Amino acid sequence: MASPTPVVLITGAAHRLGAHIARHLHQRGWNLVIHYRSREIEASALRNELNNIRPDSAVIIQADLSSPGQTKILANQAVSAWGRLDGLVNNASVFYPTPTPEASADDWNTIMNTNLRAPFFLGQACLPALKKSRGTIVNMIDIYSQRPLANHPLYCASKSGLASLTRSWAKDLAPEVRVNGVSPGAILWPEGEATIDENYQLSILAKTPLARTGSPDDIAGAIAFFLCDAPFVTGQILSVDGGRSLNM
């Protein structure tokens, strides 16, 4: 029997922003399907944390979203967890510089498959369950989808495509499924090879009217708004950026 509790699949939910989104929606009463690619330890710890708060309310599923064949498997496993699916949050993404003279076909495949192809085919695979529940898709966009970041043409193109997909789906999947997007500004600085140097961080904050970084809870709250509190809203992309998009 399907669970009466709403269920959401969140991609890339094992750490950083995805984990904040998971905790926030769990507090709002949702059951969670926590997707991860390689961070099994973090995903397991988050699942255990949430299940200690509310038993049998979170599961984890591993999938490599850059591999097109794994999205359908992920969708099927997510729906099978509680026999229903009410929300899909396409949070997982890849971000690193790809200057045009140096970008490779592998870079193209990694970024486009993860940031654009995976959300499309995952949404497609989840569609029957989402239609049945009159559910919601929320895509994680980026302010750079509108005004590109230098030396990141593949990332910016993938997020622009996801923004367009959000609006297209909002028309095509209505009235059963609502589709919206959240476009973060400076929330958590990138890690690893994608790290942004301190001077550039300061230049970003100088262009942000609120003159500070945001909190992961700002993004989680925006996603919760679309999932829980906005039954007459679809096709919208909400900038949560402290006003930075005014001064790009």
User: What digits encode the pLDDT tens for the residues 14-57?
Assistant: 998 999 999 999 999 999 999 999 999 999 999 999 999 999 99
Q: Is 136 within a domain?
A: yes
pLDDT, residue 240, reads 87
Collapsed DSSP state (helix, strand, coil) of residue 127: helix
- Give the mean pLDDT of 190-195: 50
Interval 72-84 mean pLDDT: 97
Q: Of 36, 144, 155, 200, which residue is the catalytic one?
A: 155
How many domains, the chain?
1
In a domain, 103, yes or no: yes
| CB contact at 8 A, 219 and 187 | yes
Q: Is 247 contained in some domain? A: no
* Cα–Cα distance for residue pair 223/120, rounded to 1 Å: 18
Look at residue 95 and tell me if it is in a domain: yes
155 is catalytic: yes
- Domain-located, residue 248: no
210-238 pLDDT tens trace: 656 678 898 999 999 999 999 999 999 99
CATH code assigned at 168:
3.40.50.720
The enclosing H or E element of 167 equals: helix 153-172
The answer as to whether 55 is a domain residue is yes
pLDDT tens digits, 57-74: 999 999 999 887 899 999
Name the residue range of residue 101's domain: 7-240
The helix/strand/coil state of 88 is strand
The model's pTM is: 0.91
- How far is residue 38's CA from residue 12's CA, in Å, rounded to a whole number? 10
Q: Which amino acid is located at 7 in the chain?
A: V
Residue 246: inside a domain, yes or no? no
Query: Is residue 159 situated within a structural domain?
Result: yes
